[in-house]
């Protein structure tokens, strides 16, 4: 399998760099990862991940928090983490579930502290999150098959002052963020400041590129305006000259005509400076030449 160099893989690896210092946060992170695993029930745990660092981190947290040792198997380049029997039950009951069946609701007792909320969403993102490369688009999403869970987790994000959007894709419930600021804020919150910075940088570079493009387009428009105005003046001057009218004109007009003929590509402001008159003064003289040619 090709090593994964995607932005999402890098963000996940960054999240795996520091081990949670507090036990409450270690439990909350494991809880987030379990709730958003493929299956988290009384009899079975099933979690598929492509990220080796997350796999190792998950196993470390399961041991540290619940003294559980799930099994790992490689399956077409992905790590399949599974637990059944006693091990599955240990993880399940640790988080306060007593009923047989699947964990369909959030147990708020594990996400009461601010520190634990951040750790919880780190676990959720590692387990079931993705983020697109900010060079292409701004999108971060979390997905689950459980409707109630998606609602409860959305509410928790809103309590943390985020503004998540939700959608349903096939039978999967998505919680997602679209704006660059929101994507960066989530990444920073859950412990990936470098990934957050990359999102900010991508936005700034994009804005810079757009403003340079705008300026270039604007300059181009000005240049073509100058060229077409000068072209009109040159035509008029040639017409007056051919009719023998140019030499009969007052000195100031002949001087303006001479300047234009000698500097066909200069903008009006530069010509005015050469003539030692104001821009509007010279503009007036050139306009007069055009008018005289028209009246011929």
Question: What's the closest the beta carbon of residue 100 comes to Zn ion, in angstroms?
Answer: 29
Segment near Zn ion (CB under 5 A); pick from 4-12, 17-25, 140-148, 221-229:
17-25
Residue number with CB closer to Zn ion (120 or 138): 120
Q: Which is nearer to Zn ion, 113 or 132 (CB)?
A: 113
Nearer residue to Zn ion within complex by CB, 115 or 229: 115
Non-local (6+) Cβ contacts of 50 within 8 A are 4, 9, 77, 78, 79
Tokens representing 165 are: 């959007």
Phi, psi of 60 (to 5 degrees): -65, -45
Give the span between the Cα atoms of 270 and 263, in whole angstroms.
9
Nearby residues of 176 by Cβ (< 8 Å), 6 or more positions away: 139, 140, 141, 142, 164, 165, 166, 167
* 116 binds Zn ion, rule: CB under 5 A: yes
Under 8 Å CB-to-CB from 251, ≥6 apart: which residues? none
The window from 21-29, 164-172, 214-222, 271-279 that contacts Zn ion (CB under 5 A) reads: 21-29
287 is an interface residue for Zn ion by CB under 5 A? no
When binding is defined by CB under 5 A, the residue of 13, 24, 80, 239 that contacts Zn ion is 24
Which of positions 74-113 make contact with Zn ion (CB under 5 A)? 113
At 130 the three-state DSSP class reads: strand
Q: How far apart are CA 162 and CA 155, in angstroms?
A: 9
What number of other Cβ atoms are within 10 A of residue 114's Cβ? Answer: 10
For Zn ion, the closer of residues 125 and 176 by Cβ is 125
Residue 13 Cβ vs Zn ion, minimum distance, rounded to whole Å: 22
| Beta-bridge partner residues of 41 | 102
Residue whose CB is less far from Zn ion, 113 or 172: 113
For the CA atoms of 34, 38, 44, 48, the dihedral, rounded to the nearest 10 degrees, stands at -90
Candidate ranges 1-9, 16-24, 64-72, 196-204; the one touching Zn ion (CB under 5 A): 16-24
Comparison of 115 and 249: residue with beta carbon closer to Zn ion: 115
Applying CB under 5 A, what is the total number of residues that bind Zn ion? Answer: 6
DSSP secondary structure, 170-216, as one string: TTEEEEEE-SHHHHHHHHHHHT-HHHHHHHHHHHHHHHHHHHHHHHH
The piece of 23-31, 52-60, 193-201, 230-238 that touches Zn ion (CB under 5 A) is 23-31
Report if residue 115 touches Zn ion, rule: CB under 5 A: yes
**Which CB atom, from 24 or from 290, has the smaller least distance to Zn ion?**
24
- Nearer of residues 108 and 210 to Zn ion, judged by Cβ: 108
Residue 65 interacting with Zn ion (CB under 5 A): no
* C-alpha distance across the termini of the chain, in Å: 81
Residue 52 CB, nearest distance to Zn ion (Å)? Answer: 26
**Interface pick for Zn ion out of 25, 142, 182, 257 (rule CB under 5 A):** 25
Other CB atoms within 10 A of residue 207 CB: 10
* Contact letters for Zn ion, residues 34-53 (x by CB under 5 A): --------------------
Q: How far is the CB of 27 from Zn ion (least distance, A)?
A: 8
Spatial CA neighbour of 164 closest among 137, 190, 185, 191: 185
Residues that bind Zn ion (CB under 5 A): 22, 24-25, 113, 115-116
């Amino acid at each position: 399998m090709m090593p994964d160099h995607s932005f999402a893989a890098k963000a996940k690896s960054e999240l795996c760099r520091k081990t949670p210092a507090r036990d409450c946060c270690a439990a909350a992170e494991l809880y987030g990862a379990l709730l958003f695993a493929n299956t988290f029930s009384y009899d079975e745990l099933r979690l598929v991940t492509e990220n080796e660092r997350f796999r190792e981190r998950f196993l470390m947290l399961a041991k540290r928090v619940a003294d559980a040792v799930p099994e790992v198997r490689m399956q077409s380049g992905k790590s399949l983490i599974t637990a059944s029997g006693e091990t599955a039950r240990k993880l399940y009951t640790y988080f306060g579930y007593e009923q047989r069946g699947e964990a369909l609701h959030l147990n708020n007792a594990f996400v009461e502290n601010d520190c634990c909320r951040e750790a919880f969403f780190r676990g959720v993102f590692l387990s079931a999150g993705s983020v697109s490369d900010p060079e292409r688009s701004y999108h971060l999403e979390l997905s689950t098959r459980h409707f109630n869970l998606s609602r409860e987790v959305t509410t928790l994000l809103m309590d943390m002052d985020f503004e998540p959007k939700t959608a349903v894709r096939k039978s999967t419930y998505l919680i997602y963020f679209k704006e660059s600021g929101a994507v960066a804020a989530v990444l920073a919150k859950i412990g990936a400041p470098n990934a957050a910075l990359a999102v900010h940088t991508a936005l700034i570079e994009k804005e810079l590129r757009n403003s340079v493009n705008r300026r270039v387009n604007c300059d181009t428009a000005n240049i073509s305006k100058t060229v077409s105005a000068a072209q009109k003046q040159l035509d008029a001057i040639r017409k007056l000259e051919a009719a023998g009218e140019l030499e009969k004109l007052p000195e100031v007009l002949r001087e303006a005509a001479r300047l234009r003929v000698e500097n066909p590509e200069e903008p009006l402001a530069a010509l005015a400076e050469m003539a030692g008159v104001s821009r509007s003064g010279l503009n007036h003289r050139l306009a007069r030449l055009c008018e005289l040619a028209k009246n011929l």
